[in-house]
Structure 1
Amino acid sequence: MKQGAQGSAGTGGVERDVAAVRVPAQMRAADVSRARVEAVSGVRGEHTHSEVPIPRPVVQRASVRGQILDALRTALVAGELRPGEVYSAPALGERFGVSATPVREAMQQLALEGAVEVVPNRGFRVVERGARELAELAEVRSLIEVPVMLRLARSVPVERWAELRPLAEATVRAASSGCRAEYAESDRAFHRAVLLLSGNEQLVQIAEDLHRRSQWPLVGGPASRGRGDLIADAAEHVALLDALIARDVDVVRVLVGGHVGVG
């Protein structure tokens, strides 16, 4: 992703963000007021002394921020946001056609996740990661996911594993496309679905955060794993699911250890 011209974070950008929630011109002000009162009271024509404000622009801004966050995560995994490079919120806002505000908020979230760091008066720098950090993430993931997966292999009914077949097959299709961002998303979806069977939401959130971090590109450009590596990785999902359905715990142990170990 290339930086564009520095965009303005003024009123023009805010108007673009809230355009989707403007009231149609043909709706009179009185109609809008009455509709809001009815929405609060639940009874048409009911008298009320005050109206509860509906924060439409706030909701829309949150929606825009979420969409920008997803787009930035995709660009990060795809290597469009390069390690070590600094990106400004106005420039990225210009790229996405929004004001700098939702971009800045999304970047702050990425900073909390460790993907970027704040550079005062300049923007956000994509964190530079090396092979050692990737190996450490893989080790922590193994410590969490391997024992959980083995426990699930012994306790989850076969039919529940069979329900995950579409997700495993989706990772194969995504890998075949060669798109790292698409594969990363489908990969996380499969692992999340498996771990959700543990019933431990805290474990799922921690494991997903580690998984997401392991997908960030290393220093030196986009990730080194090519289409062939993605296809091989996706094939392990299918093999793992087959072993879980067969209740072959030994094969599950080998597959999970090797699969998670490579990120």
Structure 2
Amino acid sequence: MKPSTQVPAPPGTERSRTPAPARVPVQPGATDRGPVRCRDEGAEDPTAGAARGEHVHAEPPLPAPRPPVRRSSVRGQVLAALRTALTAGELRPGEVYSAPALGERFGVSATPVREAMQQLALEGAVEVVPNRGFRVVLRGARERAELAEVRALIEVPVLLRLARTVPADRWAGLRPLAEATVRAASAGCPVAYAESDRAFHHALLALAGNDQLVRIAADLHRRAQWPPAGTPTARARAELVADAHQHTALLDALAAGDPDLVRTLAGDHFGAPMP
């Protein structure tokens, strides 16, 4: 057998190698959360590079790239990152984003982005725009009010039952979660607050021992956290702080076994006072 030889390519025919695009991490899972960092207020987003494939229209700039996505469970990580971007207002309502352009941002192919976006479409966060990508849904005041009403109708009766049946000492275990929401709100980071807020409400409802209830309530809660139309961040700091202090007040009422106060505080917290 003749040894193989390699013939060098003629000068000028080599392909220039362009650097791989910078990548962005996704948020860790609920059981392994790292610290959530907020961008400095007033910082401008850099203009994203040209997208490929189905990117056939001008898109708004994307946030600055970060370290790469871990390769395990790529679709789940991309889905978590997109949900975070929705909560933070980085993906703006009314704008259309293509899977290839978002894939560039996350350092992955367009396929897991499309899969994650299809899940968000089922959840009502985005809508498919044929041959262009996905448009972030404009969530107006009426839809947010409807979500608040549904959350109240589901969760308040459960809280009233828990106020009558859960021993007072059990509520002390939720105090650190309530205090975490206060710290996140005081820092003015909507992403950190959204995560701590979901953790508190999840632990609260889990005391009912109904997994289906917890799952449905978590879905409604996530939908309610997406930013309304025309707002660059999910919620103003003052509103977050007021919301967080309602958590500690609600815990005090639950520990005291005062259903009337629980009803009032929970209704105010959801923005849908109960009759």
Q: TM-score range by the shorter chain?
A: 0.7 to 0.9
SS in 1 for 2:135: strand
Structure 1 residues 4 and 195, CA gap change in structure 2 (3 angstroms)? farther
In the alignment, residue 111 of structure 1 is paired with which amino acid?
A
In the alignment, residue 186 of structure 1 is paired with which amino acid?
S
1:223-238 map, 5 Å: 223=233, 225-238=235-248
Measured after TM superposition, the shift of residue 222 of structure 1 is: 2.4
Structure 1 residues 129 and 17, CA gap change in structure 2 (3 angstroms)? closer
More helix by share: 1
In the alignment, residue 109 of structure 2 is paired with which amino acid?
S
Match of 1:240 among 219, 238, 250: 250
Structure 1 length as normaliser, TM-score? 0.77
Unaligned runs of 5+ in 2: 1-44, 55-67
Measured after TM superposition, the shift of residue 223 of structure 1 is: 4.7
Is the Cα–Cα contact under 8 Å of residues 236 and 259 in structure 1 kept in the other structure?
yes
The equivalent of 1:74 in structure 2 is 84
SS in 2 for 1:128: coil
Say whether 1:111 aligns with 2:156.
no
Is the Cα–Cα contact under 8 Å of residues 227 and 235 in structure 2 kept in the other structure?
no
Structure 1 residues 180 and 17, CA gap change in structure 2 (3 angstroms)? closer
Is the Cα–Cα contact under 8 Å of residues 92 and 136 in structure 2 kept in the other structure?
yes
The equivalent of 2:263 in structure 1 is 253
SS in 2 for 1:125: strand
Say whether 1:178 aligns with 2:223.
no
Measured after TM superposition, the shift of residue 224 of structure 1 is: 6.7
Match of 1:215 among 225, 233, 248: 225
Deviations 1:172-195 (A, max 9, x none): 111111111111111111011101
The equivalent of 2:25 in structure 1 is none
Is the Cα–Cα contact under 8 Å of residues 243 and 251 in structure 1 kept in the other structure?
yes
Unaligned runs of 5+ in 1: 10-15, 21-59
The equivalent of 2:147 in structure 1 is 137
The equivalent of 1:57 in structure 2 is none
Say whether 1:196 aligns with 2:241.
no
Cα distance in 1, alignment partners of residues 133 and 119 from structure 2: 14
Measured after TM superposition, the shift of residue 252 of structure 1 is: 1.0
Measured after TM superposition, the shift of residue 209 of structure 1 is: 1.0
Say whether 1:5 aligns with 2:50.
yes
Cα distance in 2, alignment partners of residues 65 and 248 from structure 1: 44
1:155-170 map, 5 Å: 155-170=165-180
Structure 1 residues 230 and 255, CA gap change in structure 2 (3 angstroms)? same
Cα distance in 1, alignment partners of residues 126 and 233 from structure 2: 17
Matched length: 215
SS in 2 for 1:163: helix
The equivalent of 1:30 in structure 2 is none
Is the Cα–Cα contact under 8 Å of residues 7 and 100 in structure 1 kept in the other structure?
no
The equivalent of 1:53 in structure 2 is none
Stretches of 4+ aligned residues off by more than 3 angstroms: 1-4
SS in 1 for 2:134: strand
Sequence identity percentage: 74
Question: What RMSD in Å do the two structures reach over aligned CA positions?
Answer: 2.1
In the alignment, residue 148 of structure 1 is paired with which amino acid?
V
Is the Cα–Cα contact under 8 Å of residues 96 and 132 in structure 2 kept in the other structure?
yes
Structure 1 residues 17 and 198, CA gap change in structure 2 (3 angstroms)? closer
SS in 2 for 1:258: helix
